[in-house]
Amino acid sequence: MRVIDFHNHFYPPEYLRALRSGPSHVRVTYDPQGNPVLHYPGDYNIAVPQHRDIAARLSALDAAGVDRQVLTLTSPGTHVESVERAVALARTVNEALARVCRAHGDRFTALATLPLNDPAASVREFERAADELGLKGAMLFSNVNGTALADRRYWPLYERASERGAVLYIHPIHPVGVESMEEYWLMPLVGFPFDTTLAAAKLVFSGVAERFPGIRWVLAHLGGAIPYLAERLDRGYGAFRECREHITKPPSEYLKAFYYDTVNFDAAALRLAIDFSGADHVLAGSDFPHRIGSLQQMLESVRRLDIPEADREKILGGNAERLLGW
């Protein structure tokens, strides 16, 4: 049984060099150990060696017993830059991801990053990443400088993604109102999962999920609060005309077709997500190597679940293999 970690974070060295050498809205400092520290609203990330060095990452995966990972660029993403800079950085990141996949195809695949502050450029980069670089889809941030993913400016991207049956993975970023979350790490602890919840609900109620059925949507952090709130969304569909305007069935029917990674290591929460969407739609994820992530907890939390062994194997790797054609 292969173990595939769907949710983890990587900063290509080429990206870090570009931040240091060119104009950027991301401030880079260094910690006492010499690790780059990337600062952005409400949060910062310390890029430890496993964030940026493939040899260090492979060593950690081998020690934990993780066979493969789906690489993605972590926050703050390229969309926080000027449009021209975002386009250039997205190309740099995707080419770096493709090189890692070519060199270590038995261990890594990747999802593209896109210059989401330029929707037309995002379509071009999505097609280049798929056609020229062989990437399996893209990671989208839960909002783009305050613009919702459900906004019609992104529909041409969704049309191309639906035609290709691509994976679009939603990872949170600093929400609107982040200034109220700057204490106690509330932005990543609370803001992140609720921004994912908001993005998913808007994608459904706006009709995006129905209009572009070929997209395989994946939600980070066990979907935020989606499995917990889906029944409430269905009640809204019954109660409010606006909630029925763009869709033909209750929201939960669309949301059950989404995929959910296991970056919530609580057994009861995992059980709720499995009961909601089925074991076929849950993907192992670690949030490695962020301080809040853990390869070991990813594995232990899934292995402790009282579920059939066939379902456990799907969650640990089989679903990701099927989803990505790996």
Domain extents for the chain? 4-324
**Contact criterion met (CB below 8 Å) for 175 and 110:** no
Task: With CA atoms as reference, report the closest residue to 54 among 3, 93, 11.
Answer: 11
In degrees, rounded to 5, the angle at the alpha carbon of residue 270 between the alpha carbons of residues 264 and 273 is 110
Residue 137 and residue 258: Cα distance in Å, rounded?
15
For the residues 137-162, what does the mean pLDDT come to? 97
Q: Which residue has the higher pLDDT, 24 or 260?
A: 260
pLDDT of 166 over the 80 cut: yes
Rounded to the nearest integer, the mean pLDDT of the chain is 95
**CATH among 3.90.550.10, 3.20.20.140, 3.90.230.10, 3.90.226.10 for 4-324:** 3.20.20.140
pLDDT of 326 over the 90 cut: no
Residue 215 and residue 258: Cα distance in Å, rounded?
9
For the residues 288-304, what does the mean pLDDT come to? 96
Residue 226 and residue 205: Cα distance in Å, rounded?
13
For the residues 270-284, what does the mean pLDDT come to? 98
pLDDT of 42 over the 90 cut: no
Task: With CA atoms as reference, report the closest residue to 255 among 241, 276, 238, 275.
Answer: 276
- Percent of the chain residues topping a pLDDT of 70: 99
pLDDT of 101 over the 90 cut: yes
Quickly count helices (H) and strands (E) in the chain.
Answer: 15, 13
**pLDDT band with cut points at 50, 70 and 90 for residue 175:** confident
- Percent of the chain residues topping a pLDDT of 90: 89
- How confident is the model at residue 41, as a pLDDT? 67
**Contact criterion met (CB below 8 Å) for 31 and 39:** no
